[in-house]
Structure 1
Amino acid sequence: MLYTQEEVLDYVKEEDVKFVRLAYFDLSGKQKNATIMASELPRAFENGVAFDASAIPDFEEANKADLFLFPDASTLSVLPWRPSSGKVIRMFCDIRRSDGSPYEKDCRHLLTSAAQKIKAECGVDLQIGTEFEFYLFKLDENGETTKIPFDKAGYMDIAPEDKGENIRRNICFTLEQMGITPESSHHEEGPGQNEVDFRYSDPLTAADNASTFKWIVRTKAAESGLFADFSPKPLLDKPGSGMHINISCSDTSKNEQILAGILSHIEEITYFLNPTENSYNRLGEAKAPRFICWGKENRSALIRVPASKDKMRLEIRSPDPSCNPYVAFTLLIHAAIDGIKNNMKPPTPASENLFDSTVAKKVAYKTIPDTIEEAKELAQKSEFVKGILG
């Protein structure tokens, strides 16, 4: 449900809300927040809440560090694990400068602008859905993280082998209480590895939901005495964890152009889809793509066009959960815009099983960067990236 400021203020009064968490994100996608008393919310809506931007990596230096958080009323969620008396609510915030202008490094603003641009210049809306994989690891006697998986189950196994069943159910139930409805969940191939998938929504909501999901998973895992690991390759000899991004267009006749646009820019934006050194241990291993190509129902291709009776969609299989979803979605939307505006045509679809090492040695497809250093260099040289992110 989308709330207005007036509805939020009425809710706060009627439902005994005492604390308001104002959430925002740094450039890596890490969630930050400030908590204010509910009585301060009218002032926050009108004037914002100041914070020291020089304390956030890569934001501003001390001589121009005053930035302001303005709550987005439409993102109201109640934190269901907090007491019902003296409720705690959370809203995502827009970051603005002292003159009221949007802060150019606010990743929610970047994504909002991208979604508006594709609508205004291409006449289409994009819908985005995510598929998250993550591991659950045990803690030691001191409460420190280990690399011991919570169970030894495999793909879509059930209890008692799948010990994560109750935790996934608790995660999904909590998300529902916060107004977020997951589509499905199951055990993945790796020991202690789980997956939760989300149905598509508008880009900003999809990114907000993805960020909320990671927070809830970590919270619920900690409540169960476990650690939720979203790193791309936590166990080098086991399957890595991806964050597949599904894109649907309101005009399916534009799908091939969008596909071509993303493929044409994938090398230079890989640094933002796979932003850690660990990301490159996953790519090209255990069903994670390496070759820049697309295929119909081909899970070994970087972009898969799944068999589907509803909206035709594109599944980008290279991103991983360490990425900032706001920045990742922003770059993919701009690549889609480029594909549509320049009437790009995709190459011939790949039908080979590129996970077969013998086949992989024979194909001529280009590959995504092999290391984070290579990916970063491509991004730094990219006029496309500079034009979007500065």
Structure 2
Amino acid sequence: MTKTITADDIRKSVADHDVRFLRLAFTDINGKLKAVEVPNSQLEKVLSNDIRFDGSSIDGFVRLEESDMVLYPDFSTWAVLPWSDSQGGKIGSLTCSVHTTDGEPFAGDPRNNLKRVLAEMKDMGFSDFDIGFEAEFHLLKLDSNNDWTTQVPDHDSYFDMNSDDESARCRRDIVETLESIGFEVEAAHHEVGDGQQEIDFKFDNALTTADRVQTFKMVVREVARKHNLFATFMAKPLQNQPGNGMHTNMSLFKNGKNAFYSKDNEYHLSDTALYFLNGILSHARAITAVANPTVNSYKRLIPGYEAPVYISWAAKNRSPLVRVPSAEEVNTRLEMRSADPTANPYLLLAACLTAGLDGIKQQQQPMAPITSNVFNMSEEEREAKGIKPLPSTLHNAITAFKADKLIQSALGSRLSKSFISSKELEWAQYTQTVSDWERQRYMEY
């Protein structure tokens, strides 16, 4: 679990590792990692929450007339990054929450919002929301100008062992870099698609895991560049290839025990787990807007690949939205398979937790589990089993989000308004864009 780090620990680490710059990271509404970088001469200001920045240019933050924001670093996220500045000094990193100038947590900060929802969870008697993310990514070749291409460095497939190609060397370097900054990497392997990779790190509480996935993505990109490769977490970067998912494994803990486990119930799922599951399924269409927040996301959520398309659940079957992996008591969990790595992890976990907690309050059992492949069912068979589809476009997902007051409450009024505005603008821009496919198909009409 999260280690305790004090201000004195950070002061000592700065001195011991010749840290010349401090990178203060935070996340905007679209899940993009932002940072303010200051020299080590500002260390005491950093440690006393006295670093300010202009929030008016950050997506989803504030208007010009209220632009001053203050960064409150979370000391537990301290890491000395394994690369140096031009003079050979190290860079220290801290993940921050954003506050107003009067010291109040800023409601437009996705990290603060997750902390708010976690406090509501604790008010219901639960101690932790444990999360494991499985964020897939593609490695692509760079051109002579160091820009990305769609050429892949390998044509390996799932779990293929190739010990000395570009991808394998890069993947190992990413693992070693992550471990050097405190990650416990549990597995690293090639995924199904050409150039597609997966690196899994240890489960932890929701806030810590959301922080880590943001750092993970940054490290992956930086190390890939060292190998003259480009790393992308885009949901569907290559046509006719599998897309990148971010399977989201969830467990609730109470009094030190996994509240999702029951020795006697089927699948070893407690009633709490089943109620939580029903909450996820009931609000799945609105959650999809948060879990799959780009136009491109919906080119992954199509039949023919492993990504889910329908709202259902199962134990061993991998075609439904939520799967129950076989696990011992402490690791009993629900795995939501729809999310992709373009999702803002703080908003995603806030939405899932709010839906699940509401399911616990409602105490309703979910639909029956699906034992056969959902994709092979006819529309009539799915309808008879109560299986509804996920939204097929970003537009449909935002429509579902706008109709779901509970999932809007998971983000709070400020973030919900900003999220809707940002995604509606994205959709409008997409619908006005003329693609090469359209020109090839329609130019001679």
Question: Does the alignment reach a TM-score above 0.5?
Answer: yes
The answer for the alignment partner of 1:388 in structure 2 is: 410
Is 2:248–2:339's contact at 8 Å kept on the other side of the alignment?
Answer: yes
Q: Give matches, 1:82-121, under 5 Å.
A: 82=84, 86-121=89-124
Matching residue's letter, 1:278 = N
* Structure 1 position 105, deviation (Å): 1.1
The CA distance in 2 between the partners of 1:96 and 1:171, in whole Å, is 33
The CA distance in 1 between the partners of 2:324 and 2:375, in whole Å, is 17
Matched, 1:362 2:381: yes
The CA distance in 2 between the partners of 1:340 and 1:46, in whole Å, is 40
Please give the TM-score of this superposition, normalised by the length of structure 1: 0.95
Query: Among 51, 62, 68, which residue is 1:60 paired with?
Result: 62
The CA distance in 2 between the partners of 1:225 and 1:11, in whole Å, is 31
Q: Give matches, 1:233-312, under 5 Å.
A: 233-250=236-253, 251-252=259-260, 253=270, 254-285=272-303, 286-310=305-329, 311-312=331-332
The answer for the alignment partner of 1:219 in structure 2 is: 222
Q: Give matches, 1:172-187, under 5 Å.
A: 172-187=175-190
The answer for the alignment partner of 1:43 in structure 2 is: 45
Residues 186-234 of structure 1, C-alpha deviation per residue, up to 9 Å, x if partnerless?
Answer: 1111111111122210001100111111111111111111111111111
* Structure 1 position 268, deviation (Å): 1.1
Query: Among 139, 152, 173, which residue is 1:136 paired with?
Result: 139
The answer for the alignment partner of 2:266 in structure 1 is: none
Change (3 A) 1:260 1:227: same
The CA distance in 1 between the partners of 2:49 and 2:375, in whole Å, is 54
* Structure 1 position 11, deviation (Å): 2.6
The CA distance in 2 between the partners of 1:195 and 1:13, in whole Å, is 35
Matched, 1:327 2:347: yes
Unmatched tracts of structure 1, length 5 or more:
none
Matched, 1:202 2:205: yes
The CA distance in 2 between the partners of 1:264 and 1:98, in whole Å, is 39
* Structure 1 position 70, deviation (Å): 1.7
Q: Structure 1 residues 160-169 or 86-95, which shifts more? A: 160-169
The CA distance in 1 between the partners of 2:163 and 2:11, in whole Å, is 46
The answer for the alignment partner of 1:375 in structure 2 is: 397
Unmatched tracts of structure 2, length 5 or more:
254-258, 261-269, 414-445
The CA distance in 2 between the partners of 1:33 and 1:152, in whole Å, is 35
* Structure 1 position 168, deviation (Å): 1.1
Please give the TM-score of this superposition, normalised by the length of structure 2: 0.84
Matching residue's letter, 1:204 = L
* Structure 1 position 58, deviation (Å): 2.2
The answer for the alignment partner of 2:31 in structure 1 is: 29
* Structure 1 position 163, deviation (Å): 4.1
* Structure 1 position 106, deviation (Å): 1.0
Matching residue's letter, 2:337 = R
Is 2:325–2:335's contact at 8 Å kept on the other side of the alignment?
Answer: yes
Is 1:287–1:355's contact at 8 Å kept on the other side of the alignment?
Answer: no
Residues 154-207 of structure 1, C-alpha deviation per residue, up to 9 Å, x if partnerless?
Answer: 111111686422211111110111111121111111111111122210001100
Change (3 A) 1:199 1:44: closer
* Structure 1 position 95, deviation (Å): 0.6
Q: Structure 1 residues 165-174 or 379-388, which shifts more? A: 379-388
* Structure 1 position 257, deviation (Å): 1.3
Residues 269-301 of structure 1, C-alpha deviation per residue, up to 9 Å, x if partnerless?
Answer: 211100011100110331110110100111001
Matched, 1:10 2:20: no
The CA distance in 1 between the partners of 2:389 and 2:47, in whole Å, is 47
Residues 71-93 of structure 1, C-alpha deviation per residue, up to 9 Å, x if partnerless?
Answer: 21111001012269632110011
Is 2:159–2:189's contact at 8 Å kept on the other side of the alignment?
Answer: yes
* Structure 1 position 47, deviation (Å): 4.1
Query: Among 80, 83, 91, which residue is 1:81 paired with?
Result: 83
Change (3 A) 1:216 1:351: same
Q: Structure 1 residues 79-88 or 322-331, which shifts more? A: 79-88
Change (3 A) 1:361 1:218: farther
Is 1:153–1:161's contact at 8 Å kept on the other side of the alignment?
Answer: no
The answer for the alignment partner of 2:264 in structure 1 is: none
Matched, 1:348 2:351: no
The CA distance in 1 between the partners of 2:70 and 2:25, in whole Å, is 12
Is 1:172–1:181's contact at 8 Å kept on the other side of the alignment?
Answer: no
Matching residue's letter, 1:296 = A
The CA distance in 1 between the partners of 2:250 and 2:403, in whole Å, is 27
The answer for the alignment partner of 1:229 in structure 2 is: 232
The answer for the alignment partner of 2:150 in structure 1 is: 147
Is 1:153–1:162's contact at 8 Å kept on the other side of the alignment?
Answer: no
Is 1:48–1:71's contact at 8 Å kept on the other side of the alignment?
Answer: no
Is 1:122–1:337's contact at 8 Å kept on the other side of the alignment?
Answer: no
The CA distance in 1 between the partners of 2:244 and 2:370, in whole Å, is 23
Is 1:122–1:341's contact at 8 Å kept on the other side of the alignment?
Answer: no
Is 1:306–1:314's contact at 8 Å kept on the other side of the alignment?
Answer: yes
* Structure 1 position 119, deviation (Å): 1.8
The CA distance in 1 between the partners of 2:75 and 2:125, in whole Å, is 29
Change (3 A) 1:360 1:150: farther
